[in-house]
Amino acid sequence: MKLLGKLLVSAAFLAITVPAVATQTDSELRKEAAEFFEVIPSVIPAIKDNAITHAKIELGKKLFFEPRLSKSGFISCNSCHNVGMGGGDNLETSVGHGWQTGPRNAPTVLNAVFNTAQFWDGRAADLKEQAKGPIQAGVEMASTPERVIATLKSMPRYVEDFKVAFPGEEDPVTFDNVAKAIEAFEATLVTPAARFDQFLEGNDKILTTEEKQGLSLFMEKGCTTCHNGVNFGGNGYFPFGMVEKPDASILPENDPGRYTVTKTEDEKYVFRASPLRNVALTAPYFHSGKVWELESAVRVMGTAQLGVTLEDNEVKAITAFLKTLTGEQPRIEYPILPISTATTPKPELMIPPPPAPEKAPAKK
Amino acid sequence: MKLLGKLLVSAAFLAITVPAVATQTDSELRKEAAEFFEVIPSVIPAIKDNAITHAKIELGKKLFFEPRLSKSGFISCNSCHNVGMGGGDNLETSVGHGWQTGPRNAPTVLNAVFNTAQFWDGRAADLKEQAKGPIQAGVEMASTPERVIATLKSMPRYVEDFKVAFPGEEDPVTFDNVAKAIEAFEATLVTPAARFDQFLEGNDKILTTEEKQGLSLFMEKGCTTCHNGVNFGGNGYFPFGMVEKPDASILPENDPGRYTVTKTEDEKYVFRASPLRNVALTAPYFHSGKVWELESAVRVMGTAQLGVTLEDNEVKAITAFLKTLTGEQPRIEYPILPISTATTPKPELMIPPPPAPEKAPAKK
C-alpha cells in the first residue's frame, strides 16, 4: 500500500514535470523565459542624477576599497562586499566596527545597479543613497559624514580626484559626491554572459537538459512571481512566508523587515525579493544568512512561498538552473590609495558601548 | 644676544652641511651612495627552495586575498598588508580576530622578499616561514593548519590550482605549499623605479637639491650603519636606543624584541632595522606604531640611535630624501576566489578568552 502510494506519487510527478520538458522545444522554452527575464547588459547602465565618467569610476573604486572611510581605518566597502567572492562576504551577517555583527546578511553588490531599490527592506532608492548607510552605521563602518570629508580633504590626491570627477563644482569633496562616486564604480560591477544569458540569446547547447528542466520548473512552479526581470528579483516586495512562515531560525521574529521602513502593519516580514544572479556564489542565504546550501534555500522557498514540497529531483534541477546565473566576474585592478597626511583623522578602534535598547541596530 | 646665538647656530649648521652638498658633484654623491645601496630589481628574484612559477604566483595571490584562511572568514593577508596602502595597514598595530590588536605594527609586504629575515625580531628566515605565523596567531587570523587544509580541500578549484602549482606532488594541498604559494606571490610585490633608484642609475635631474642633501646627510650622519643594502634595512639587528632609549610610549618595556627569540641578554630591545623603501607610505612608524610623522621618526632616530639632535633643516632634507624611496606600486588584478562548498568549514566569529598570562601574544 505504502509502495503503491509512492508509485502513484511518482507517476503523478512524472505526469506534471516530464512532459513540460519533453513537449517544449528549446525555442519554446526560450520564448517563455523571455517573458520573465532579460539578458544582463554588458555595458554600464545610465544612472539617474549621476553621469558615469571614467574619472568618477576610478575615484569610486578607490573609495570602495578605502578602509579610512571607516572609523577604525580597517573596514572598507570591499570588506563585506568582496568583489572576489561574488560581491558579498560569505558570512551569516557581516563583521563591523569592534567585531560587532549586523542583523542581516550582506547583499551582493554585483548587478545591484539593476535593483529597483537597495537593502533587504528597500529603504534606499538607489546605490548612492545606499552607500551612505554602512559608512555611518555603528555596527558597520561607524564613521560620520564629517569624519569622511575631513579624511578625504586631508589627502591632496583625493581632493584632486574629486575635482576631476566633479568638474565645475566649487567644493566637490562632499558626502553626496562620495556616494555618487561609489555608485559609479558599483555600476561597473555587472556580470554579463552567464550561461543562462547565452541560452536566452539563442545558444541551445549552453544549458544541459537538467538545467533547462530547472528553468522550466522555475517558471511553472511560480518562482517567477517574485524572481523575474534582469536580476531575477530585486524589484519587488513580498512577505517571507507568503504561504507558511519558515522556522524562526531562518526568519527571526525581531526583524519585521519592510515594516521598519513603512510602519504599515501588512508589511511585517515583508522583504525585497532577493536578486538571484550569481546566487551560487553568495551563500549563506536569506536576510538571516542561516541557510548555507542552495538546495536547502530552494526547498525553503518551496514551502514558505509556494506552499509546495518540492521533490528532490525538482530541487536538484532548479538548483542546477540557478547555477547558470553565474556571470563573468568583474576584473578589477586593486587601486593604489592616497597617502595619509598629518591632518588625516587617526584610526579609532575603540568599541562603543552597546546601543540603547530602544534604538535598533542598522540593518542591511 | 639670543638672535646672535641663533645666527651663530645657523652659521655653524651651514658650515657643516652646505659644503657637503656644494663640494660633492652628482657623480661623487652617486658613487658614495652606490657603496651603501643597491638599485631594486624590477624582476622577481629567485627564492630558496621555491621555484617561482606563474601558477604558483596566481595561487598565492588568491591565498593572499583569501579571508577563509582565517577562522572568522573575515581576515586575509591583505587586511593588514594592504597592497593598495604601501603593503601595510596604516594602523598602530593591526586588528585581528575578535577585534584584538597585536603588539607590533604590521611591516610592509612590499619588497619584503629582499629582507634577510622576517618579522620585527627576524624570527622567520623567509617569507614562506613568515606566512605561517599570522594565519595561526590567535590575535591575527586565529586559524590552524588543519582548518586551512580542510578549507582548501573542500573547494575543487583550489585542489586543482595546487595540482598545477606543485606538479608531481601526490598530495599538494599542504600547509607548507600554502606558505610557498604565498611567498611566490609576495616575491612579485617589488616596487622598482623609485626616484632614488633612477638617480643611482644615472639620472642627475630626478632628485632635487634638498633630496640630494638629504641623501648626503643620511650617509654622513651614519643612518647607513643600519639602513643599507637594497632595502635600506631589513638585513641586520640593532638595539632600539643604541645611544639613548626613546620614550616608553615608543619603546614599550614589555616588548624586549629579539630577546624573545634568542633569549640572549644583550639582545634585549634589539630589533631588525626597518627596511625604508616606501617608508613615506607606511606610517605609523616603529614596532610600536606610535609615531605618525616621518619627520618625527627621523628625529627619534637621531637621538636614539645616533645620539644627535638633528637640525630642523636636516630633518627636512632627510625626510625629503626618504620620500624618493617610494617606488612603482604593484598593479594587481583582484583574484576571483573559489566558491565554498558544503564541506568548507564555517566561519567562527567567537572571540576566544584572553590568553593565559604566561603565554605572550603572537608578535609581528
Dmax (CA) of chain B = 82
User: Taking Cα atoms as reference points, which of A30, A28, A261, A319 lies closest to residue A129?
Assistant: A261
User: How many pairs of residues across A and B have Cβ atoms under 8 Å apart?
Assistant: 95
Pairing of strands A270-272, B270-272: unpaired
Mean pLDDT for the stretch of residues A130-148 = 96
Q: Which residues contact B151 (CB under 8 A, 6 or more apart)?
A: B68, B69, B344, B345
Residues of chain B with C-beta less than 8 angstroms from the C-beta of A82? 67, 337
Rg (C-alpha) for chain A, rounded Å, is: 22
d(CA A96, CA A76): 10
Q: Which residues of A touch B72 (CB under 8 A)?
A: 91, 95
Of A19 and B172, which is predicted with more confidence? B172
- C-alpha span between B332 and A333 (Å, rounded): 5
Distances in Å between the Cα of A292 and the Cα atoms of A91, A252, A323, B103 are 10, 16, 15, 36
Cβ contact A239:A297 at 8 Å = no
Contact state of A329 with B335 under an 8 Å Cβ cutoff: no
Residues B207-240 have pLDDT tens digits of 999 999 999 999 999 999 999 999 999 999 999 9
Asked if A67 lies within 8 A of B82 by C-beta distance, the reply is yes
Q: Across the interface, do A342 and B292 touch by the CB < 8 Å criterion?
A: yes
Residue A42: the pLDDT is 83
Residue B108's pLDDT is 98
Query: C-alpha B177: how far from its chain's center?
Result: 23
Active site residue: B58, B92, B140, B267, which one?
B140
Q: Given pLDDT bands bounded at 50, 70 and 90, which one contains residue A360?
A: low
Scanning every residue of chain A, which has its alpha carbon at the shortest distance from the alpha carbon of B328?
A336
Minimal C-alpha gap between A308 and chain B (Å): 25
- Report the residue of B69, B157, B188, B337 to disrupt the A interface, i.e. the one with the largest count of A CBs within 10 Å: B337
Distance from CA of A84 to the nearest CA of B (A): 4
Nearest CB to B337; choose among A67, A85, A333: A85
A72–B95 CB contact, under 8 Å: yes
**Which pLDDT score, from 0 to 100, does residue A364 have?**
76
CB A324 within 8 A of CB A196: yes
Looking up cell 636636516 gives B314
Residues of B in contact with A332 (CB under 8 A): 333-334
Cα angle A241, A244, A248; round to 5: 70
Query: What would the grid cell of residue A357 be?
Result: 535598547
Q: Exactly one of A140, A186, A211, A267 is catalytic; name it.
A: A140
Q: How far is residue B90's CA from residue B12's CA, in Å, rounded to a whole number?
A: 38
B95 contacts in A (CB within 8 Å)? 72, 74, 349
Asked if B91 contacts B289 with a C-beta cutoff of 8 angstroms, the reply is yes
Q: What is the mean pLDDT of chain B?
A: 92
Cα(A111)–Cα(A124) distance, integer angstroms: 16
Q: Look at residues A196, A270, A218, A156 and name the one whose alpha carbon lies nearest to residue A30.
A: A196
- Please classify residue B1 by burial: count the beta carbons closer than 10 Å to its beta carbon, then call 0-12 exposed, 13-18 middle and 19+ buried: exposed
More confident residue, A96 or A8: A96
Task: Give the gap in angstroms from C-alpha A85 to the nearest C-alpha of chain B.
Answer: 6
Of A67, A280, A339, Cβ closest to residue B281: A339
Assign 3-class secondary structure to chain B.
Answer: CHHHHHHHHHHHHHHHHHHHHHHCCHHHHHHHHHHHECCCCCCCCCCCCCCCCHHHHHHHHHHHCCHHHCCCCCCCHHHHCECCCCCECCCCCCECHHHCECCCCCCCCCCHHHCCCECCCCCECCHHHHHHHHHHCCCCCCCCHHHHHHHHHCCHHHHHHHHHHCCCCCCCCCHHHHHHHHHHHHCCCCCCCCHHHHHHCCCHHHCCHHHHHHHHHHHHCCHHHCCCECCCCCCCEEECCCCCCCCCCCCCCCCCECHHHHCCHHHCCEEECCCCCCHHHCCCECCCCCECCHHHHHHHHHHHHHCCCCCHHHHHHHHHHHHHHCCCCCCCECCCCCCCCCCCCCCCCCCCCCCCCCCCCCCC
Q: Bigger pLDDT: B45 or A228?
A: A228
- pLDDT tens digit string along A227-247? 999 999 999 999 999 999 999
> Is the Cβ pair B67, A89 closer than 8 Å?
yes
Residue in B74, B292, B336 closest to A329 by CB: B336
Q: Is-contact B113 B187, C-beta < 8 A?
A: yes
* pLDDT surpassing 50 at residue B19: no
Q: What is the pLDDT of residue A359?
A: 56
**pLDDT value of residue A12:** 43
Report the chain A residue with the minimal C-alpha distance to residue B282.
A339
Nearest beta carbon to residue B90 from set A83, A89, A340:
A340
Q: Which amino acid is at A176?
A: D
Q: What pLDDT is stored for residue A43 in this prediction? A: 86
Q: Is the ipTM of this complex over 0.95?
A: no
The answer on pLDDT for A323 being more than 70 is yes
- Counting Cα atoms < 13 Å in the Cβ hemisphere of B119 gives 24
Q: By mean pLDDT, which of A38-42, A146-150, A301-305 is the weakest?
A: A38-42
Confidence of residue A362 (pLDDT cuts 50, 70, 90): low
pLDDT at B6 over 60: no
Q: CA angle, corner A49, sides to A47 and A50, nearest 5?
A: 60
For range A203-218, the mean pLDDT: 98
User: What contacts A91, CB < 8 A, 6 or more positions away?
Assistant: A80, A105, A106, A284, A289, B72, B73, B74, B347, B349
Could you tell me the three cell numbers for B334? 583582484
Query: What pLDDT, on the 0 to 100 scale, is given for residue B360?
Result: 56
Q: What is the pLDDT of residue B359?
A: 56
Confirm whether A140 is a catalytic residue: yes
* Residue B249 confidence (pLDDT) above 90: yes
Residue of A nearest to B283 (CA): A340
Reduce the secondary structure of chain A to three states and give it as a string.
Answer: CHHHHHHHHHHHHHHHHHHHHHHCCHHHHHHHHHHHECCCCCCCCCCCCCCCCHHHHHHHHHHHCCHHHCCCCCCCHHHHCECCCCCECCCCCCECHHHCECCCCCCCCCCHHHCCCECCCCCECCHHHHHHHHHHCCCCCCCCHHHHHHHHHCCHHHHHHHHHHCCCCCCCCCHHHHHHHHHHHHCCCCCCCCHHHHHHCCCHHHCCHHHHHHHHHHHHCCHHHCCCECCCCCCCEEECCCCCCCCCCCCCCCCCECHHHHCCHHHCCEEECCCCCCHHHCCCECCCCCECCHHHHHHHHHHHHHCCCCCHHHHHHHHHHHHHHCCCCCCCECCCCCCCCCCCCCCCCCCCCCCCCCCCCCCC
Q: What is the pLDDT of residue B299?
A: 98
Averaged pLDDT for residues B90-101: 96
- Write down the pLDDT at residue B354: 66
B320/B303 Cα distance (integer angstroms): 19
**Crossing angle (nearest 10°) for helices B26-36 and B209-220:** 40
Question: Taking CB atoms and an 8 Å limit, are B89 and A83 in contact across chains?
Answer: no
- Gap between the Cα atoms of A217 and A344, Å rounded: 56
Residues with Cβ within 8 Å of residue B292, at least 6 apart in sequence: A342, A346, B283, B284, B285
- Report whether pLDDT(B13) > 70: no
CA distance B3 to chain A (A): 31
Question: For residue A127, what pLDDT band results from cuts at 50, 70 and 90?
Answer: very high
Report the candidate in A149, A120, A125, A109 with the shortest Cα–Cα distance to residue A47: A125
Question: Distance (Å, rounded) from C-alpha A273 to C-alpha A36?
Answer: 15
pLDDT recorded at residue A355: 63
Read off the pLDDT of each residue in B81-104 and give the average, rounded to a whole number. Answer: 97
Amino acid at A344: T
